[in-house]
Amino acid sequence: MYSDPKECIYCTKHDVRNTIMIYITDLSVSKVFLFREQTYRGRCLVAYNGHVNDLNELSDEERNAFMADVAKVTRTMQKVFNPEKINYGAYSDKLSHLHFHLAPKYVDGPDYGGTFQMNPGKVFLSDQEYAEMINAIKAAL
């Protein structure tokens, strides 16, 4: 299912996007967001700048640049949040725009050893806490 770029939450400044995530910065071929729901402390999302549905739609050069951005963000998450593991999710079933969910997992944390939940709806932070996380991520990028 391909969505219209004019209605895509990653291609436009969309109200839905702003309710579920906070823009952090642009990288070489992507945008980085912090999820508001923080069950997985430090959870981010990296969205490709162009409106494509899947990695296989990119040239080798575009794919390599996108995956370099994803790796840059996960290295940063490792440095800032020190998770045991970072889970990657790239679904796009209902929203056809290439993006990766990056969910840090901690040994004694939720769903360790299993699949992360898309939106558990349990942990929300104060504006100051979000700002501190974003500043730490930006400083480490």
Give the pLDDT of residue 9. 82
DSSP string, the chain: -PPPGGG-TTTTT-HHHHHHEEEEEE-SSEEEEEES--SSTT-EEEEESS--SSGGGS-HHHHHHHHHHHHHHHHHHHHHH--SEEEEE---SSS-S-EEEEEEE-TTSTTTTSPPPS--------HHHHHHHHHHHHHH-
Q: Across-strand partners of 85? A: 105
Q: What's the pLDDT score for residue 1?
A: 55
Could you give the number of structural domains in the chain? Answer: 1
Q: Are 3 and 96 a contacting pair, CB within 8 Å?
A: yes
Instruction: Name the residue among 45, 28, 56 with its Cα closest to residue 87.
Output: 45
Q: Give the model's pLDDT for residue 5.
A: 78
Residue carrying structure tokens 């558990």: 120
Predicted TM-score (pTM) of the model is: 0.93
> What CATH number did the domain enclosing 133 receive?
3.30.428.10
Determine the structural domain holding residue 128 and report its residue range: 5-140
Average pLDDT per block of 10 residues along the chain, 141 residues long:
74 83 97 97 96 94 98 98 96 82 97 93 96 98 96
Q: How far apart are CA 87 and CA 101, in angstroms?
A: 8
